[in-house]
Amino acid sequence: MNTFNLTNLFPPNIRQIYRYVVGIFIPTHATGLILNILLLKLLSTNKIFQKTTYRLIRMSVISDTISASTALIMFIMITFGNLDFVAGSNLCRIGLTILLTSYAVSMMNLALIAVDRYFVIIRPFSPFYRNHKRRFLITTEILIWLVSISAASPMSLYMSSYPDFPTTCDFPVMGVNESVYLLHWSFISYAIPTATIAMSYAKVAIYQKNYVRPGIRTSEQLHEDFTKRRKFIKVLIYITSCYILLSLPYFVCSIIASIIQKSVVYLSPDNVNLFIAGYFISGLVLSIHFLNPLIYVTFDKQIRAGIISEVKNLFHSSM
């Protein structure tokens, strides 16, 4: 069994440094929770956002709201709580299961949005999608949640803290089962959605580049039509690209750890900075719910205008 006493590897102040690293993310999670609540209200009440794409984004926002609430509670308890080994292990297992389930839901929803755009733009007359679109999306959404929960649930069995370091989360034992599971998790929650998104948007981009709308049109009309068709797809590509690139370091580390069968702590026994960097990368992925609203606001003009209006109304009502 690959367990050990962390005091033999790291200086005594490592626990305090780790608390500081975790504490850095508390304002991030609090802000993320507020932004996601505002975004959820906007997407649920504004008639402009009742299109299929925005409804799918709304499912991701619901998942991100749950994630932000869980992460905020979890990080506050780690930073300010006096946890023992049992409490730390339970917090780690429950918290990470919820957070990683939320991540998988968001990632798979982005893939579902890409598939929807593929059918709408490239195959708008597909009998299957025209006749069964609503049923397909609802069924797929249910499957996304079930698969995400199933894929993340084993985390509650494999993840834990250490007796000498109860506020950290890791794989205390990294055997064959844990390595296979970690690869399995990375494949389901990251590799498959990323490949689906890449293929769908690549086909859409190629199609739009070569597509010419039927009918006699002036060069200005053709340019305007081309610009409008590409604009919304660019927004979606920017959003998913940010999501994928920000998550990449975490999944690279997970794959390396699973291949060499060594956990985060074992990867950096003689380097405190590398240890902190590993947990900082994990914290960044677990803070993706904070980045999502910012990405939507940055690249989607309608969402940006709606959020600004919501914030103005919030301030006016409080005055």
What's residue 146's pLDDT? 94
- Position 288 in a domain: yes
Cα gap 64→304, rounded to integer Å? 18
Count of beta carbons in the 10 Å neighbourhood of residue 206: 11
Phi and psi of 3, rounded to 5°?
-120, 155
- Position 297 in a domain: yes
Instruction: Enumerate residues 6+ apart whose C-beta is below 8 A from 199.
Output: none
Count of beta carbons in the 10 Å neighbourhood of residue 294: 13
Cα gap 300→122, rounded to integer Å? 22
Average pLDDT, the chain: 80
* DSSP symbol at 1: -
- Could you tell me which of 247, 83, 265 has the C-alpha nearest to residue 159? 265
Question: Residue 117 belongs to what domain range?
Answer: 14-318
Q: What is the sign, positive or negative, of the torsion defined by CA atoms of 278, 280, 284, 285?
A: positive
Count of beta carbons in the 10 Å neighbourhood of residue 105: 25
Rounded (5°) CA angle 229-41-60? 60
Tokens of 68: 């932000």
Instruction: Enumerate residues 6+ apart whose C-beta is below 8 A from 263.
Output: 2, 170, 171, 172, 174, 257
Phi and psi of 169, rounded to 5°?
-120, 130
- Position 9 in a domain: no
Residues in the chain: 319
In 207-239, which positions are buried (b, 16+ CB within 10 angstroms) versus exposed (e)? eeeeeeeeeeeeeeeeeeeeeeeeebbebbbeb
pTM, to two decimals: 0.81
- Position 99 in a domain: yes
Q: Which residue shows structure tokens 């677990």?
A: 286
Radius of gyration of the chain (CA): 22
Contact 250, 285 (CB under 8 A): yes
Per-residue model confidence as pLDDT tens digits over 212-243:
555 545 556 555 555 666 676 777 777 778 77
Total number of domains constituting the chain = 1
- Report for 127-136, 148-157, 200-209, 214-223: range of highest mean pLDDT: 148-157
Lowest-confidence region among 100-104, 256-260, 278-282: 278-282
- Position 153 in a domain: yes
- Report for 12-16, 187-191, 290-294: range of highest mean pLDDT: 187-191
* DSSP symbol at 4: -
Lowest-confidence region among 59-68, 221-230, 273-282: 221-230
Query: Residue 171 maps to which CATH number?
Result: 1.20.1070.10
User: Ramachandran region of residue 175, left (φ > 0), alpha (ψ -120 to 50) or beta?
Assistant: beta
Residue type, 289: H
- Position 61 in a domain: yes
Lowest-confidence region among 26-30, 200-204, 212-216, 285-289: 212-216
**Residue 148 pLDDT more than 90?**
yes
Q: What is the sign, positive or negative, of the torsion defined by CA atoms of 121, 103, 39, 306?
A: negative
Cα gap 17→159, rounded to integer Å? 21
* DSSP symbol at 7: G
Cα gap 255→144, rounded to integer Å? 23
Per-residue model confidence as pLDDT tens digits over 7-38:
455 555 666 777 777 778 888 889 989 989 98
What's residue 198's pLDDT? 87
What's residue 7's pLDDT? 47
